Structure 1
Amino acid sequence: MAAASCLLSEDQFLCSICLEVFTDPVALPCGHNFCNKCITDHWDINVRCQCPMCKRLYTTRPELQVNTFISEVAAQFRQSVQQEASCSSSEHQAAKPGEVPCDVCTGTKLKALKSCLVCLASYCETHLEPHLTIAGLKRHQLIDPVEDLEGRVCTKHDKLLELFCKSDQMCICMLCTVSDHKTHDVVPLTEEYEGKKDELKETEAEIQQMILKRRLKLQEIKRSVELSKKDADREIVEGVQVFTALKASVERSQAEFIKTIKEKQRATEIQAEGFIKELEEEISELMRRRTEVEQLSLSEDHLHLIQSFSSLNTAPTTKDWTQVSVHSPLYDGTVVRAVIQLEETLSKQMKKMFEAELRRVRKYAVNVMLDPDIVHPRPTQSSTKQQVNEGDKCRCVLSKQGFTSGRFYFEVQVSRWSSWTLGVARKSNMKREVTLSPSNGFWTVCMKWRFFKRLGGYFASGNPSVCLSLKSQPERVGVFVDYEDGVVSFYDINNAALFYSFTGCSFTDKLYPFFSPCHNDGDKIHTNINLCVLQ
């Protein structure tokens, strides 16, 4: 019958309503066949009950019975078409490297669609058909194609691994439960599978959260790089503007200096040209007079010589040149005055630049609070600041807050103290007497009144200390720290000037704002006592 059905055309097995191969075909009294559902739905929609093909009208809806013969022929035709399509498509599904091949195919191994855990074999679309149609094979467990199916079988009992031993954390077969794993906690593989899936979901959620955090950090770093580039570009533009202005100032000062020198030289030349002209005129007049005298002396006319003698013998009107001289102009001080003027111009430019820099570093200002645990005696409190009376014999203090990264800035009013030490320090050396220096964890600037005449009063502590030359006494000092770049800078706030920077520092510990308002002897201070005014 199947062979005969293959000789029929496909059109003979199509429902004229849905245009698909018959499903539960029924025959009307007029002999035309339709899918049971198609003709039923058609009559439910239309008021009149008639055949869609020949338009025969029925007064009552005919009782429909499935045409078993056409149904079987249509099913065989459908299966034949599917097999032909399967065979046709399988020709293009040969297993590629990395894909699981069919274990049944001979010759060219086609790509497996499923693997059977009971048969321990993988099947292509054609050879998988029995597992989809035969009742006994339908009960087999099919999974997506995998290699090494032997690894799913217990090597000791040659049985399928379908249990999980929680005690030994391994997959086992049924026979293992009565031997090596008799008293162990054993659960079905499906149960452990669900548990592991739940754990994997949690792990996936954790990983997803980690990915999210890292993506946010990635975006943060990218934004930081973009901001850094913008800051660098802006700094270059501002720096070029500053240096251009400074260069223009230097060029103007140089031009004015050269102009001054040339004007002095020109004045000298003009004076000399006037003297030269007068001298040349006198020389010409004297040479003419000399010629007349020579000619008269050769004359043999007695009367003429005597009569002309008086006029020629009289000395011509000339200037007394004995006190006349041309001196080179004095240029002493010209360069100095030009440099002083340039310095004043540069100072104005520098002040503008430092004011801009102060505005930038003040963005990193922090509120510094004293640490009451190490202040001795305990400082008095107020609503606006923490302070230690100058009469208290305190030596130094650290802030309560420390910093291990980034940038921070704070200011201290130092005008009330005759001697002070200000900066940042590590906490590790705060319980013993040490020498202030970066090597001991102190990056500070000091003002010592008793050294004022000898050392200028101000110095950066170190080994050796660096004497600082300040034009005026700071009233308020700002301290800026860039932890990563290893920079500690000190600013004279009132005069908008940077007067010292520690650079190239390598910070590894927490840094604390540090201040000492007291009169200390020498460079050593007792660092277990504390502070001042910070706000």
Structure 2
Amino acid sequence: MASFMCYEDLTCSVCLSIFTDPVTLPCGHSFCRQCATEVHSCPQCRAALSAQARRLPTSVVLKNLAEKVREAEKMKEEGGSEKAREAEKMKEEGGSEKPEVPDLCPEHEEKLKLFCLTEQELACIICRDGDRHEGHKFKPIKEAAASLRKELETFVQHVLDDIHAIESLANTQREEITKTKEKSEQLITQIRSQFEEMHQFLQRREDEIKNELKHKEEDGIEKMSHSLNAIETTLSERKEMEVKATSVLKISDSEKFLKSWTEGKSMMTTKSLFRPRAKELQVVSTSLSLGPYESHLQFFMWKEMLQVIQPRAEQLSLRSNSTVLSVSDDGRSLFSAPQYAPQYKQAASFYPSGYRSSSYQPVMVDPDYPTSSSSTNYASSVTEFTSGQHYWEVEVGSRDYWELGLQDNSLRYDGKKYYALHQNKSRPLAFKGRPRKIGVYLNCSSKKLSFYDADNMKHIHTVSPDLTFMPVSAYFNIRHKEPDHNPITVCWY
């Protein structure tokens, strides 16, 4: 520890080397004479120096101590040289030890003992005192390296943490890719299975209709074959009779002619005894027909398929406590109830072809009721949903206003524009078109509510409803607008 303190006390704080011709300034600090004459103030206490500093006497005590330290370093270096020679010898013999060569400043050829924090580069003593580094902050190399090493270790730790996070994201993304592929395969299998069911149904019905037609063909051909056999038998008899009569006519001798006629009494050819058979025979015709299947086969097959397809569209029934809305007797149609609304004697005119008719008795209401939708002026489905996937279709026709979906998440059509409604807030949509039938698809597991043009399944909009509070019901709303008295109707297939 004493030798270390002695070495530090004999080091010039300017050149960071053992004193060479040391002098002691009036302030009490000691430096190499050359270092003291190159500065205008004490490097340690910043006390001003005069020109007399160059004539200061040499500090003999410091000089002697510095020489002793220098001799000790020389001996140490000689010992190090010996070690270096041994290392070189080991290298020649196949060793891998390499002697360390200190880096020198490329500009001043001095040892690089400092690190400039401002420029972030190594520097020598002369570099520190030069104009290029004026006002810059320096640290000894070891201290700067230790500080930078600590920062770098922190940086590496941050990078490792980020790597772990990114690896986790990559693994999650790979899992999502795998899930998507598996889901795609599952859906492909499901699609193949469902189409196979439809193919089997259509193939079975095709075979049944073909067999029915074949049976009708066989029955008709059998009847016509019997008729043809009778016609051909009669024709053969008549031809035979004609041949015999012609052969008799060819006899020119009167005696022989009469004798031949007498012998052939069975040939009754006189007009009085001949009975024509053509009028007794009749051509049988069979007109093959499949009835309406002949012209509307695909339509009837579609209707039959609706009865076997699973799952089918939800057959929702409506309910409403509103005084301005009315539900039909069968629960399928929702009417607005204008003041003094006309009596609807033929409710079937409000429904698409093929739907069951329903009766509607309009009510008298306050003429000042609001035309916009209210929190109570709506209808909901009797059926409630808690899980699974559900789809229903609503015939909106040419109404100028309607709302469909769930109560807090719905699609609104108002004056040729579409809006997405979420908790009494509306957002306009870019969808164009005028569907007559709207399809609504609710996926409870993925929390998605989608709307489609039900005739071509063109996508209109998808929202993510809050399904925290279950169960939920389908939502319907309309408002009265003259002269449109038509309802909206849930499609039942």
Provide the TM-score with structure 2 as the length reference.
0.46
Name the TM-score, length of structure 1 as normaliser: 0.43
